[in-house]
Structure 1
Amino acid sequence: MSAGATYSQTATERVFIGRPAAEAIAEEAETQGASRVFLMASRTLNRDTDEIEKIAKALGKRHAGTYDGMPAHAPRAAVLDAAAQARAAKADLIVSIGGGSITDAAKIVTLCLKHDLKTHDDMEPYHMYVGGDGAVVLPEFEGPDVRAVCVPTTLSGGEFNALSGATDEKAKLKQGYQHRLMAPVAVVLDPAMTVYTPEWLWLSTGVRALDHAMETLGSFLSNEFCDGVAENALRNLAEGLPRAKADPKDLDGRLKCQIGAWQSMIPVVAGVPMGISHATGHALGGTFDVPHGHTSCVMAPYALAWNESVNGERQKRIAAALGGGNASEAADKLIRGLGMPRSLGEVGVRESDLPDLAEAIMHDIWTRTNPRPIETADDVVSFLKTAL
């Protein structure tokens, strides 16, 4: 009999699957009794399509305002600006429509509203950090009163997680903020909202979801439930991503990708820690401004190869879900077939950057939970050299 495990639930109450976003948001606002709904939207969706206007119209008098200025990786200054606008609008429900950065920012805005965070330094006591002994320190604080609803247009999966990331521009580090009530009260999976997402962003964040599932299946801290969900996530994504690339209007294929991304996040939310691919991705994003999805496109197969000497048996399930053979080679083939970058050099990282990158990685919460132990920055540099 395997060791016991605990599955931790978030505070998300509903997922609308395949429902039109405007309809689902209006319904959720009614359910929540919200009268001041503040939208945080992708700038492209807000200014180049009528999708946000449709949502505002469906909300009617409940629509209290719209923010569309969130840069990639959710810098603190932009999060605080959005929070100030939501505060001024007397928001009682936050709705994000867009990719991972706007999703993360919306969840952190709920924290800013609860604790009246207005300046860069106000946010400092609330983020997770790695202590001197390598253990992750999770600050304790009261959760938000104002909840969020998330309508994702990419596949990074953060909408299913209470954990959110924002970048400290001064320290040049992406940092995590977490409380179970920061998880959205509802998620809307509307594939029609994703057709405006640039192909590279849709596909690369799909690889990010693949990476969630692959690091779950590679982890010695997973369990049969999480392994099963992760394996199915891989199968859905391995089918759906090529379908979406072949036909961007294939909404069934896109919904399959969305379901796969959701499944890939269930183990993460349940407490299965990720490994060196995700740790490197956080540092590449926060310190080197590499897009979320591209970080996994580059690092995931190298992480599989790096870890194979210790978790090769577990990697067999990954290989089987991706079509057979060796796991790292199968992942590489799928990612290359999607036209994604596959080396650090392709995303602008040089060998001279590796020491700084390694130092940033050593601050990440998931470096020490990699299957193959990593104790020092030199260990990280050795891994990174395989991806040049």
Structure 2
Amino acid sequence: MTRDVQAGIVNLLAQSIVFGKPAHEVVAAEAARRCLRRVFVTSTRSLALLGNGPLQKVVKAVGDRYAGQFTAIGAHSPDHDIVAAANAARQAGAEVVVAVGGGSVIDATKAILMCLWAGIDNVEAFRVAHSKFDQVSSAELGRERAFAVPTTFSAAEFTAVAATTNPETGQKMAYRHPDAAPQVVVLDPAATLNTPLRLLLTSGIRAVDHAAEAFCSPTANPMTEAYALSAVRLLSKALPAIKAAPEDLVHRQLAQFAMWQSILSSSTGVGTGAGASHAIGYALGASYGVPHGETSCISLAPTLRWNAEVNRARQDLLADAMGYPGRPTWQVVRNLVRRLETPVILSDVGIAASEISRLAERAFTYAPMRDNPRPIASPNDVAEILAYAT
């Protein structure tokens, strides 16, 4: 199963991962333990409208430590939402920003920290700062840090990268600093109960995408392999179980462990652990507004199918882990997506076949294309992949 291991260094993030306890109780206890008096919360409009959802429970639990909230973060972390939230957090004197939501909220919150540290208060300054933060030492940063209460299976809370979108250009950008990763992550399955089922299940396919591309990556090693195979094994069982019994917290917790493993599989390699499926997903999201999870529902199976020419034997190990030995892995993934009754092909999200050329051009510009197991020489290769998604 393994291949020659490349030399490399893995930098693990200093995080506390808490599970088995209600999220709001953990947030309140951690804020008190760290003597944080100004707790600012980020979330979405839909969660803000709930009467007693995870957002409301966190606000109530922190009591007089509550400093304010910004609950207008849009899908794909638009940069103007990030700057507006950072300005609100700065005005509130935030010491910790608690992200309650999915990948867009959590990525936005990481970028909010960077705005606070750098004194960024306008979109123009933010857009030119994307390369700045890698080189900033932790000693130079402000005091602000983040906690995360994830409500989906996107796994953004386990990375130090903030993927943001410039709505004017339809381009996705990456901002990163190791201290941007949430210091405390609470895996509370009850926090996912208010998430629309389609959104939750598709975010689970996003986790399958993380694991599958990491496993097939040229930089895979025994650590990435173990995490990836365990992740797809758990997700292939947990996601259909969640669909069948949406109130069952056991399978939601198993999916949370699986998405944790999936992101570990892509972050403990020498490279990024991502390939063409992720790059296509970036273009689908940033340029066409397709939700994160739905992009993977559409892009992963076609990418596996196109790559099978060079790594079919390796892909077979994924199919075996998912319970279908001998079946082409792309078929196993597509059948899982169909069982969840989520988007499968481009037309399911309103994208016509005539858009393939433009979409391929966009996707080709994203860095994960360079790490695809089967080399991609031009947008024409990307178009071949996308033809399998029609």
Deviation digits for residues 124-181 of structure 1 (CA, Å, limit 9, x no counterpart): 33326xxxxxxxx985335553111111000111110111111012221111111111
**Alignment partner of 1:322 is 2:322:** yes
1:55 maps to which residue?
58
**Alignment partner of 1:250 is 2:248:** yes
1:276 maps to which residue?
276
Correspondence list, 1:59-78, <5 A = 59-78=62-81
Correspondence list, 1:1-388, <5 A = 2-6=4-8, 8-51=10-53, 52-127=55-130, 140-142=135-137, 144-145=141-142, 146-271=144-269, 272-324=272-324, 325-388=327-390
Question: What are structure 1's unaligned runs of at least 5 residues?
Answer: 129-136
The number of residue pairs the alignment matches comes to 380
Deviation digits for residues 33-73 of structure 1 (CA, Å, limit 9, x no counterpart): 21111001232222213132321222112110011101111
SS in 1 for 2:175: strand
**Offset of residue 4 of structure 1:** 4.1
Distance 1:2 1:382 in 2: 30
Distance 1:56 1:309 in 2: 52
SS in 1 for 2:128: helix
Distance 1:139 1:11 in 2: 14
1:131 maps to which residue?
none
Letter matched to residue 385 of structure 1: A
Distance 1:182 1:138 in 2: 10
**Offset of residue 373 of structure 1:** 0.4
Letter matched to residue 280 of structure 1: I
Does the 8 Å CA contact 1:12/1:186 hold for their aligned counterparts?
no
Does the 8 Å CA contact 1:159/1:187 hold for their aligned counterparts?
yes
SS in 2 for 1:167: strand
Distance 1:32 1:376 in 2: 51
Q: 1:195 to 1:7 in 2, by over 3 A?
A: farther
Q: 1:181 to 1:338 in 2, by over 3 A?
A: same
SS in 2 for 1:38: strand
With 138-147 and 259-268 compared, the bigger mean Cα shift is at: 138-147
Distance 1:7 1:252 in 2: 35
**Offset of residue 91 of structure 1:** 0.4
Distance 1:262 1:168 in 2: 28
Question: How high is the sequence identity, in percent, across the aligned residues?
Answer: 37
Does the 8 Å CA contact 1:110/1:147 hold for their aligned counterparts?
yes
Does the 8 Å CA contact 1:126/1:141 hold for their aligned counterparts?
no
SS in 1 for 2:135: coil
Does the 8 Å CA contact 2:161/2:180 hold for their aligned counterparts?
yes
Does the 8 Å CA contact 2:266/2:274 hold for their aligned counterparts?
yes
Letter matched to residue 76 of structure 1: D
Question: What are structure 2's unaligned runs of at least 5 residues?
Answer: none
Distance 1:373 1:294 in 2: 25
**Offset of residue 7 of structure 1:** 5.1
1:132 maps to which residue?
none
With 265-274 and 106-115 compared, the bigger mean Cα shift is at: 265-274
In the superposition, the TM-score normalised over structure 1's length comes to 0.94
SS in 1 for 2:370: coil
**Offset of residue 13 of structure 1:** 2.1
Distance 2:350 2:149 in 1: 31
SS in 1 for 2:369: coil
